[in-house]
Amino acid sequence: MPKIYYDNDADLNLLKGKTIAIIGYGIQGRGQSLCLRDSGCNVVVSEVEGTPNYEQAIKDGFKPMSASDAAKAADVIQILTQDHVQAKVYNESIKPNLRKGKAICFSHGFNIRFKQIKPAKNIDVFMVAPKGPGALVRRMYEEGKGVPCLIAVYQDATGQAKQLGLAFAKGIGGTRAGVIETTFEEETETDLFGEQAVLCGGVTELIKAGFDTLIAAGYQPEIAYFEVLHELKLITDLVQEVGIGGMRRKVSNTACYGDLTRGPRIITAKTRKEMQKILKEIRNGKFAKEWIKENEVGRPNFDRLLKEGDEHAIEKVGKQLRDMMPWMKK
């Protein structure tokens, strides 16, 4: 069993007298900033001037500043920009403003795991990773609850890195739910694998393959869309709420039997072998090198693949059908 920490294991007083900088006021940055402020912490935020996130920070009562100024002012620096820009932000704006005893924090370990950021030995480096989007972190906090978090320590220069991380987690409500101890390696590798093989890559390819199969057999695109994409939320919500076994007991017996007998014919030994190959590419750094290089050359492959995906027939029929669903209109 992993080590799990709760409110009684964390001391917010460790953050008293310290300034926390949140670099990047996106969904996660906003949620964490507001929760930390409401927990009595002194929070400064950094965002690019003229962006919607910059304006949102002002509306929320912050005075957004440059990453350099925020890093200079802070004792704890939480880096919440996207993975592909973190190293640039760190090297240009954060690294020059670090001094002995400061701490840098992450909510995803990509740049530490793959050595795009190489922190000096005299600073603490830890991770507090909420297992939910920033809006949910904020909503649960306001309700007196919390979103489970992961905590990991990469570098403990002060001897207090873990306790500082737990204090940070408590400040965003994580210790109300539970904070699970992990490593930067485990968090990064499992996160990337989940995205690629299951949650994003696996699911979207499965949806498109199901849609294409029905269309090729002569079924209407609208009906195919409903059966392979629209109803997916019902199933994923049930799986999240009551587990796979609970979902099987809440759908029809026909659906359950089809799941039990036909599912293994879709995810075959060959599929599982390919999953192992994908995991190997993550662990040996092949994927990271590919993604870093893709960004360095201007993302030609990324943009091409994204455009090809947008042109798939399921996107056109999906837009038309979603226009018929008033509950999906904002």
Dig out the tokens for 32 from the structure.
Answer: 């964490």
Q: Which of 84, 108, 230, 312 is catalytic?
A: 108
* Domain endpoint, select from 182, 208, 241: 182
* Domain endpoint, select from 141, 160, 182: 182
| Together in a domain, 163 and 244 | no
Q: Is-catalytic flag, 108? A: yes
| Together in a domain, 136 and 255 | no
> What does pLDDT average to in each consecutive run of 10 residues of the chain (330 residues)?
94 96 97 98 96 97 97 98 95 96 97 96 97 96 98 98 98 98 98 97 98 98 97 96 98 98 97 98 98 96 97 96 86
| Together in a domain, 13 and 130 | yes
| Together in a domain, 132 and 204 | no
Q: Are 149 and 125 in contact (CB under 8 A)?
A: no
* Domain endpoint, select from 147, 182, 217: 182
C-alpha to C-alpha distances, 289 to 191, 201, 275, nearest whole angstrom: 17, 19, 19
Dig out the tokens for 215 from the structure.
Answer: 């269309």
| Together in a domain, 26 and 163 | yes
The candidate with the shortest Cα–Cα distance to 81, out of 135, 27, 139, is 27
Quote the pLDDT of residue 149.
98
| Together in a domain, 316 and 207 | yes
Residue 8's Cβ-count burial label (10 Å; 0-12, 13-18, 19+) is exposed
Q: What is the CATH number of the domain that holds 251?
A: 1.10.1040.10
Quote the pLDDT of residue 330.
67
Quote the pLDDT of residue 1.
80
Q: What is the CATH number of the domain that holds 59?
A: 3.40.50.720
Q: How many domains is the chain built from? A: 2
Query: Could you list the residue range(s) of the whole structural domain that residue 277 is in?
Result: 191-328
| Together in a domain, 134 and 255 | no
Alpha helix segments (H runs only) across the chain:
27-38, 52-59, 67-73, 83-89, 110-113, 134-142, 161-171, 174-177, 184-193, 201-216, 221-225, 232-250, 253-266, 269-283, 286-296, 300-310, 313-322
| Together in a domain, 211 and 323 | yes
